[in-house]
Structure 1
Amino acid sequence: MSKEFFKAIECGQTLPINNVHAVSVSMPTMQDVIDYEKQTPQIFEKIKSGYPRFKLHPYLKKLGLYIKDKYKVSDNFEVVLLSSKKAVELISDKYFIHNKIEVDEPFGVILVQRGTTQLQKVLTYIQHVGCNLSSRLAEKYLFDVELINTVHEEKLEDEKKAKDIIINTLANAYNQPSKNVCLAPSGMNAIYSIVRGLNSIQSHNGRTILVQFGWLYLDTMNIVNHHYNQSKIFPDILNLDLLEEFLKIDGKKVSAIVTEMPTNPLLKTVDIKRLRSLCDEYNIPLVIDTTFATPFNLNLEAYADIFVESLTKFACGNADILMGAIILNKKHNLSHMNVEFFTHCEPVYIKDIQRLALQIKGYEKRVKEISSNTKLLVEYFKKCSYIKDIYYCLNEENKENYSQTIKDDNSLTGIISVTFNKPFKDIYDNLNFAKGPSLGTEFTLLMPYTYLAHWDLIQSKEGNEFLEEIGLPIDLLRISVGVENINEIINEFKRLEN
């Protein structure tokens, strides 16, 4: 990409630019971010779309209105669209929704009574479980019924080859048979399916506690809380002593340990050999979210029973696909139970598969280029007076743990988080990179992580104290490093030196 890319991108523009299926959206100033979190009316005049699990896509809104009119639904009800009829049953059972509607559609439809707290609960649950309807499916439907005039032009892989291309790429990268790989419509839906599978397999053995090791991504923890009566969080991934003491007492009650490697957004890495040893001692399955590491940076084959990856990120590289994957490790004792883990995954729309199949062909090359850029950007940051703290995989705190599984010297996952010695607002507002949610893009993408992920905690004294306790700075900038010329990336940051 040329230097021309580093220009301010107006608030509400899709990221990538002018892509109706984009999963990110430009929030170029801190005031935009704050207005978005406060849900001020004026910000939503600008921001029409966003990360699909958090903000309803415009096509889904339009399709919902069409379905409401088509089936003559009363104004007393809100039409909610889901990825499948199976998802309708799931949500209807959980929230006792008996507003039955008979529809003949290639997706799920439920009716939720307006003016109740139930609607927000349902929408939040859909966000966590990841059973959103595909924007590409909605687009085709709307075009076919002549509610939109055009379909977004994009390159797609051949329909007959697409799924095999994705499955085989992942199977080869993780060194697993293709039957051990399953696609899901989002990374969160993949995690949801794993949690449900563990629950059904382990609960009859009296293993009812799911351990979350490290301060995991917000929605991962939300899924666990929805589906496990008992869960235990160990926020500090570098403190295995606390976990070991807990396992001495309750190890036989633990159904699984779920962790990220490295963690989001502080890039901390567990002593994976010691963690695996504890799992073996107490016969506990280990689930590792490898979205940040990717299978091309770290070799975790000897350690994880189950891998989960958000393919929306580095595997896609363009931020215009929502998809996830479960990969079961043939070396460990759960790989023969693939039906138990895969059965809860929602179906993936074929055009999403076709789009990712095209993009995943560049996965390994993209990761290597980003890794190289990340290493050089870290070296630049180390010399910067305006940088307060740098969080990355090979910092001194993490170096020994990360090096246990590193594939080569350039295997630095493409995320850097930093804090500054200057006012955060000034820093954020003045940088001309793309700024919005998500990561893993070929274009450098900045996110004010704590503001977008933990706005509720920022708002109270108790929340601030909790953030301090878990070591998560409020004014943290998460940088997803792109494949642009590294000198151009560094030169954009150099403007902060003035």
Structure 2
Amino acid sequence: MSPMVLENDVEVGESLPPATEHAVSVSLPTWRANVGYEEGEEWVISKMKTGYPRFFIHKIIQAFSAAIVTKHGREGEGAMLFPTHAIASRCRDFFLRNAPDLDASKIRILDFVPAAEKARSEELTVISPRVSAVLFPQDRFSIAKQFWQHSGDGVSSRRAEYCYQLFEKGVLIEASSLDLPPRIRKGPRRYQKQTSIDLGGPDDAVHSTGEVQDPTQFVEERFGRNLDLSMTKNAKLAIRRRIAGSLTADVSLSEALSLKKDTARTRPVAEFSEDDVYLYPTGMSSIFNSHRKLLKAKGPLKAIVYGFPYIDTLKITEKFGAGSLFYGFGSSEELDDLEKRLEGGERFMALFTEFPGNPLLMSPDLQRIRTLADKYDFCVVVDETIGNFINVNVLPYADIVVSSLTKVFSGDSNVMGGGLVLSPMAKNYSLLKSIWEEDYEDNHWAEDSIFLERNSRDFVSRIDRIGTNAEAICNVLSAHPRVKQVNYPKTSPTRANYEKCRNPNGGYGGLLSATFYARGDAIAFFDNLDTVKGPSLGTNFTLSSPYVILAHYGELDWCAKWGVEADLIRFSVGLEETGKLVETFKKALDAIPQ
């Protein structure tokens, strides 16, 4: 039986959405294309215009890296680009730990800054058109790529695009030629007072005078003209208010900023406000930096990873710090084991979990975890990306709540971002707050913040619509005899745990997954499913993926040990008309050979 003609059949390697320069997904439209990508087959790899940014380094970033090596590098070197010297230093440390045979002088950091001292103005602090490059032997690229992927702290494609233009024009130059120390920004103190937020409109965009060659003028006018520079701080504030839950209406930026700082309405936690919300370049960066700072707060103790996690969370705990204790089922029996270990004197710095988990959509027993954490003094980090705070309130059970803003918060699949929230209820709050005050860098690129604020204005209404669609798809899949299992928080054996955290008007989210009794059935269904197909989730359009093959291709046996089947298909449900979406899934099910 030949595959159906599909409306959403986007060519392999094309960005999702198509023709979107800074897209965060890529089309892998068939089962064979996903396997071919993982196998490195030329017919797939050669067509890749982009990819998920932490796994596929954007071509703009690749070009900028190559230009830096050409101008400043040595033969056989490669470069990896980061927003600050501090992050580049962490990459260098990771390199030296994982390549002890390398002479330390082989790993170099070059900092690129605007050419004139006056370009280090307050306005340019908002933009921060700076890049730090780690140069290394190109044959060790895989080590640099691991840090890029796990940390989530690499430059964004928009930052690279903008800074590359400055570099080409001679406006962004290597810092040592200016005899300036690497710039280190500390603390979110600019967030603490209303007076530190520029409440001006577009007409207040920065203007400067002087010669055309003046780098301050070049950067400020170019950036201000394109992006309403004066609104950058405002956009960040509006995003933080939305994450705090004090801003849930679909309002313009000026309306969002006219609200007084308020305690959160959708996160009913005493004393909690936007001042406890921090922005990061990616969701993984918020997890990575939580782990890094918790090591500082609690000492070099092991972490606990509870429930089958997104791939890099486990890798972070294994490759940084003292390692981890992994409970891949997220079961009550595993919590029994943890309790015995704690009673026996074992100590841990933190427990990392997702609510619900990806891709099995299991919900951990946060109430019991919180009780253990309080008794034995470890922190709890909850990734709420899948549940999101409109549907669930996990803050009372967590010390730290992290989220990927790249997903449903944005929806448009064209910008990266991460959010992190400190809970003022947690007994470690004062300690954690002091560490964040001392060590936090806001590295979310200004242009990315503008896009993220615009995209997120209607996220509340989108979440409601997406949840309705996802429940309908769950029902269609669950009713089909060739479908082995459907994973969704509402139908999960762990639903009771979800309900403890569900908000009064909250739903069950837009992510679900399914397995089939035979691999051939899974392939036939996937290849005939008329949605776009690729990595990521939380998009405004339905996005499907053979998730385990794409995320865990080199460790399928390991996944199976934890009950995660290789042929699982994951669906991130979008905003399409419900009836049409249901029909799309029914047609794909009908395409399974009888």
- For 1:94 and 1:162, the matched residues in 2 are separated by 33
What corresponds to 2:443 in structure 1? 347
Superposition map of 1:312-327 within 5 A = 312-327=406-421
**Alpha carbons of 1:404 and 1:454: their partners in 2 closer, same or farther (altered >3 Å)?**
same
**Alpha carbons of 1:5 and 1:43: their partners in 2 closer, same or farther (altered >3 Å)?**
closer
**Alpha carbons of 1:213 and 1:273: their partners in 2 closer, same or farther (altered >3 Å)?**
same
Higher alpha-carbon deviation: 416-425 or 216-225: 416-425
Instruction: Determine helix, strand or coil for the equivalent of 1:296.
Output: coil
Is 1:294 matched up with 2:388? yes
Instruction: Determine helix, strand or coil for the equivalent of 2:397.
Output: coil
Superposition map of 1:142-153 within 5 A = 142-144=164-166
- For 2:105 and 2:540, the matched residues in 1 are separated by 45
Is 1:29 matched up with 2:30? yes
Q: 1:197 aligns with which of 293, 317, 321?
A: 293
Q: Is the 8 A contact 2:110 2:132 kept in 1?
A: no
What corresponds to 1:17 in structure 2? 18
Q: Is the 8 A contact 1:305 1:329 kept in 2?
A: yes
What corresponds to 1:493 in structure 2? 585
Superposition map of 1:10-89 within 5 A = 10-71=11-72, 73-89=73-89
- For 2:524 and 2:295, the matched residues in 1 are separated by 47
Q: Which amino acid in the other structure matches residue 78 of structure 1?
A: G
Is 1:243 matched up with 2:316? no
* Cα distance, 1:248 vs structure 2: 1.7
Q: How many residues align?
A: 479
Q: 1:356 aligns with which of 432, 436, 452?
A: 452
Higher radius of gyration, 1 or 2 = 2
* Cα distance, 1:286 vs structure 2: 1.1
* Cα distance, 1:414 vs structure 2: 0.9
Q: Which amino acid in the other structure matches residue 241 of structure 2?
A: N
Of all paired residues, the percent bearing the same amino acid is 28
Q: Is the 8 A contact 2:392 2:506 kept in 1?
A: no
Is 1:140 matched up with 2:142? no
Q: Which amino acid in the other structure matches residue 119 of structure 1?
A: F
Contiguous gaps of at least 5 residues in structure 2: 97-103, 114-129, 170-222, 246-265
Q: Is the 8 A contact 2:390 2:506 kept in 1?
A: no
- What are the superposed Cα offsets for residues 284-326 of structure 1, whole Å, 9 maximum, x if unpaired? 2211110001001112232111101111111111111111111
Q: Is the 8 A contact 1:238 1:269 kept in 2?
A: no
Higher alpha-carbon deviation: 224-233 or 18-27: 224-233
What corresponds to 2:254 in structure 1? none
* Cα distance, 1:412 vs structure 2: 0.7
- For 2:294 and 2:7, the matched residues in 1 are separated by 45
- For 1:64 and 1:95, the matched residues in 2 are separated by 18
- For 1:448 and 1:305, the matched residues in 2 are separated by 33
Superposition map of 1:38-437 within 5 A = 38-71=39-72, 73-96=73-96, 97-99=104-106, 100=108, 102-105=110-113, 106-115=130-139, 118-144=140-166, 158-172=231-245, 173-175=266-268, 176-203=272-299, 208-239=301-332, 240-251=335-346, 253-336=347-430, 337-341=432-436, 343=439, 347-408=443-504, 411-421=507-517, 423=520, 424-437=522-535
- For 2:111 and 2:373, the matched residues in 1 are separated by 47
- For 2:228 and 2:367, the matched residues in 1 are separated by 41
- For 2:33 and 2:228, the matched residues in 1 are separated by 34
**Alpha carbons of 1:103 and 1:192: their partners in 2 closer, same or farther (altered >3 Å)?**
closer
RMSD between aligned residues: 2.4
Q: Which amino acid in the other structure matches residue 170 of structure 1?
A: I
- For 1:421 and 1:102, the matched residues in 2 are separated by 54
- For 1:87 and 1:474, the matched residues in 2 are separated by 35
Q: Is the 8 A contact 2:69 2:77 kept in 1?
A: no
* Cα distance, 1:6 vs structure 2: 4.1
Q: Which amino acid in the other structure matches residue 342 of structure 2?
A: L
- For 2:497 and 2:455, the matched residues in 1 are separated by 31
Higher alpha-carbon deviation: 155-164 or 191-200: 155-164
Q: Which amino acid in the other structure matches residue 163 of structure 1?
A: K
Q: Is the 8 A contact 1:10 1:26 kept in 2?
A: yes
- For 1:110 and 1:215, the matched residues in 2 are separated by 33
- What are the superposed Cα offsets for residues 69-117 of structure 1, whole Å, 9 maximum, x if unpaired? 333x2222112222221112112233234343544331111211133xx
Q: Which amino acid in the other structure matches residue 570 of structure 2?
A: R
What corresponds to 2:545 in structure 1? 447
**Alpha carbons of 1:195 and 1:410: their partners in 2 closer, same or farther (altered >3 Å)?**
closer
Q: Which amino acid in the other structure matches residue 246 of structure 1?
A: R
**Alpha carbons of 1:326 and 1:126: their partners in 2 closer, same or farther (altered >3 Å)?**
same
What corresponds to 2:569 in structure 1? 477
Higher alpha-carbon deviation: 254-263 or 372-381: 372-381
- What are the superposed Cα offsets for residues 10-30 of structure 1, whole Å, 9 maximum, x if unpaired? 111111121110110000011
Q: Which amino acid in the other structure matches residue 35 of structure 1?
A: G
**Alpha carbons of 1:437 and 1:250: their partners in 2 closer, same or farther (altered >3 Å)?**
farther
Q: Is the 8 A contact 1:185 1:324 kept in 2?
A: yes
Instruction: Determine helix, strand or coil for the equivalent of 1:316.
Output: coil
- For 2:110 and 2:397, the matched residues in 1 are separated by 47
* Cα distance, 1:360 vs structure 2: 1.5
The structure whose RCO (Cα within 8 Å, separation 6+) is larger is: 1
Q: Which amino acid in the other structure matches residue 283 of structure 1?
A: D
Q: Is the 8 A contact 1:16 1:22 kept in 2?
A: yes
* Cα distance, 1:344 vs structure 2: 5.4
